[in-house]
Chains A and B, each alone.
Chain A
Amino acid sequence: MAKEMMYGEAIATAIIEEMQRDPSVVFYGQNMGMTERDPMLKMFGKDRIRITPISETAELGVAVGAAMTGLRPIVELWMSEFMLVAFDQVLNEAPRLRYMSGGQVKVPVVFKAGYGFAAGWAGQHSNCTYHLFMGTPGLKVALPSTPADAKGLMKAAIRDDNPVVFLQHFLLTLEKGVVPDGDHVIPFGVGDVKRTGTDVTIVATGWMVQKSLNAAERLANEGINAEVIDPRTLAPLDVDTIVRSVKKTGRLVLVDQAPRHASVAIQIAGEVAEHGFSYLKAPVRLVTAADTPVPFSEPLEKFVLPNEEKIVQAVKSVLSRHATAV
């Protein structure tokens, strides 16, 4: 059984189902469960749904301590940049404690936050921050692009015995899709081929997945058959699915809403250079944001971000006989 729902709704559904399944799951954050009318507060009570002060260090640190001692907290951060206020807990506490204890403790915690709000939120509330998390051993990073993936990855995140940064794209919140009922759990580290093709591999995440699929449709009208892959989690990263696709297509375009330097795109390009270089018939092309902060005014914002047209052009360039790196 499955039903159509929105991306945001799918995430909420996953949290509600997991809280019903496991009494050790608690959910808290700023500005949530404020009145007794709150539906989740009604469902789970004041112990498990809590409102916090604006204290990211305490919110995340309390979650880490609670996870070390037997709860499975989900912290609602709202915006991924708010994690930067408490980066010690995200990068230097949660992912290290198990290792430093020689495997004695586990820290099953989910840091849930929105990102990529390219709608005039300017420099500090619309960034793609995932590159800051994905290089930390011990930390997992999920980045769903569809309602079904959002539900399945959130369920997997809550059940995971490790700290997970779960990043949901703001601009996908209202996107609808068919979501399987019940125990729909997507394992981490398994990419999804969103569209099969033979001529070129496009790897994209989050908001860029639909843009890549749209670009692929346009290219199909011109006789170019693109394969679109969404890795869905950045740590662990499913390199095999990407390399397998490159083996088939021989061409690779990497799409990333984040600035180019130290991006997921660069990470994947490095993996393919090591594990799939001999399959490549043309240089890899990256379609990323410019190496700038996100500007406020709409024409400026649009200019720095990747879009459908830039993806189409990149695909055409790797398919041209004399493809060269730019």
Chain B
Amino acid sequence: MKASQQLGKERLTWMWTQMVRVREFEERVKRTFVEHPGVIRGHTHLGDGAEASIVGALATRTDGDPVMPSYRCHGYPIVLGTPPQNLMAELYGRRDGICKGFGGSMHLADPARDFPGATGIIGAGIAHAAGAALTAQVKRTGQVVYSFFGDGASKQGAFHESLNIAAVWKLPVVFILENNEYQAYTHVSLEDANCAAGEPLSKKAQAYSIPGATVDGTDPLAVYDEVKKAVDRAREGQGPSLIESKFYRFSAHGNAITVPPVPTQFPKHESIEVYGRKAEYEAARNNDPITKFRNKLIGEGVLAEAQATEIDNRARAEMDDAVRFALASPPPQPEDALKYVFA
């Protein structure tokens, strides 16, 4: 029997609810570029399309397990319980931001909710995750660390060095390679040796003699089952695993890089904008993990249509409120910029 078959009605509903919340948050971030130009500065990366993968993985967590995502990091703290108000305020550079306006979209952190902090440098966080696992091992806390990163990061030295050291030291960490098919603007087939050879990216696990698996990242229960195995293994002291979770990023890599005062917005997805593959993009959109899971839960009688609509509405209201809160939050005091350089 699969572990996911033991998930009760309440837990399954919770999972779908979290997926909806993540999606709604990302939609509101994207809309901000249109509705309130200039409010979000710098570079913002969205995780729409990743919801099943994020929630399926995090649903296996035990309280206290650290979560170490990449710079595409909005979804994880939403699931961990960080108030979306404070996340949105951070993206808007406001005083009530979760990082008080010092970090922004790429550098979120909420250590009080087991999110020690994200880094904007691709792959660097994989080593930090292995480090958090070292803490768990040395202090015998029983924690397992969740390391999330993209397909692009799996070509970084940090990825390979961290997998090797984690395997040698049998660190309690699960490496979740989110293969969303595009390394920034480049299709994975152009930059990944495994993909170019027609093989899954999880094959990289073999180089470090650890378990590797590829899973349908649009199915939260499939992700749950695979991650659960890896987490159980890590918690028993048997070391790390690599899971390739395959899904499709729905938004472009990030908002267009423009020089102020030229306003920035999200361009069309690279599949269309760069490669002209409209059919590929539409097929992915028609395989939306949220719609699929909704239909499944309704079909199996876990969720009623009316209940689903209510969850949708509640998430919309919650994220509307997050936007209102963030817009109303004052900017930071300029002289506060001198704080937090040193502990």
Seen from chain A, the residues whose Cβ lies within 8 Å of a Cβ on chain B are: 24, 26, 47-48, 50, 52-53, 55, 57-71, 73, 88-89, 92-93, 97-108, 137-138, 140, 161-162
Contacts and interface: CB of A to CB of B under 8 A. Distances in A.
A61 B131 contact: yes
Contact of B161 (A50, A57, A100): A57
A69 B131 contact: yes
B119 to A, nearest CB: 6
Nearest to B340: A103
A241 B334 CA distance: 31
A100 B164 contact: no
Given A55-B165, A64-B131, 15 more contacts: A50-B169, A53-B164, A58-B158, A61-B131, A61-B161, A62-B134, A68-B116, A69-B135, A71-B131, A100-B102, A100-B107, A100-B109, A101-B107, A104-B99, A108-B343
A161 B169 CA distance: 26
A63 B119 contact: no
Interface stretch (B120-128, B181-189, B209-217): B120-128
A177 B264 CA distance: 62
B124 A93 contact: yes
B209 to A, nearest CB: 14
A100 B103 contact: yes
B98 interface: yes
Interface of B: 66, 68, 97-103, 107, 109-112, 116-117, 119, 121, 124, 126-139, 157-158, 161-162, 164-165, 168-169, 339-343
B103 A53 contact: no
B343 A98 contact: yes
A65 B102 contact: no
Nearest to A67: B131
A20 to B, nearest CB: 16
Contacts of A58: 127, 130, 158, 161-162, 164-165
Given A101-B111, A105-B111, A69 B132 contact: yes
A103 B165 contact: no
A67 B168 CA distance: 20
A64 B128 CA distance: 6
B261 to A, nearest CB: 25
A98 B127 contact: no
A93 B103 contact: no
A104 B130 contact: no
A55 B340 contact: no
Residue among B131, B158, B164 having the largest count of chain A Cβ atoms under 10 Å:
B131
Contacts of B68: 65
A309 B137 CA distance: 54
Nearest to B122: A88
Contacts of A48: 138
